[in-house]
Amino acid sequence: EIVMTQSPAILSVSPGERVTLSCRASQSVSSNLAWYQQKPGQAPRLLIYGASTGATGIPARFSGSGSGTEFTLTISSLQSEDFAVYYCQQYDRWPLTFGGGTPVEIK
């Protein structure tokens, strides 16, 4: 199976800061990469698919980039509602696999 590794393990930031989260695949997944946001007690929400396409209703401050094995999720200016755990997921091959998640916490 394709192993997805996210970094950093945890990120402490202040509101208004720019945030960059990384996701690495153990083999190429082309652009078949999605990002999700999960807040406590809630289901994950799709943010980005196709590595760089914003899902419906997602604010423009969220953007994704990368292809192959290296991917990045960027939040241009962190808002209070963005403090959450972020997961990447590859859908290039079965079994589908998720990264371990990066919590973004208030500094």
Q: Candidates 7-15, 18-26, 68-76, 90-98 — which segment interacts with another protein by CB under 8 A?
A: 90-98
Nearest alpha-carbon partner for 4 in 22, 19, 26, 21? 26
54 makes contact with another protein (CB under 8 A): no
| Cα distance between residue 77 and residue 61, in whole Å | 7
Structure tokens at 45: 């929400």
User: Distance of CA 69 to CAs 31, 73, 92, Å?
Assistant: 9, 14, 11
Strands laid side by side in the 4-7 sheet:
4-7, 19-25, 70-75, 62-67
Q: Candidates 18-26, 63-71, 76-84, 96-104 — which segment interacts with another protein by CB under 8 A?
A: 96-104
Q: Candidates 13-21, 22-30, 63-71, 83-91 — which segment interacts with another protein by CB under 8 A?
A: 83-91
34 makes contact with another protein (CB under 8 A): yes
Q: How many residues bind another protein (CB under 8 A)?
A: 24
| Residue 51 amino acid letter | A
Closer residue to another protein, CB minimum distance, 37 or 69: 37
Interacting residues toward another protein by CB under 8 A: 1, 32, 34, 36, 42-46, 49-50, 55-56, 87, 89, 91, 94-101
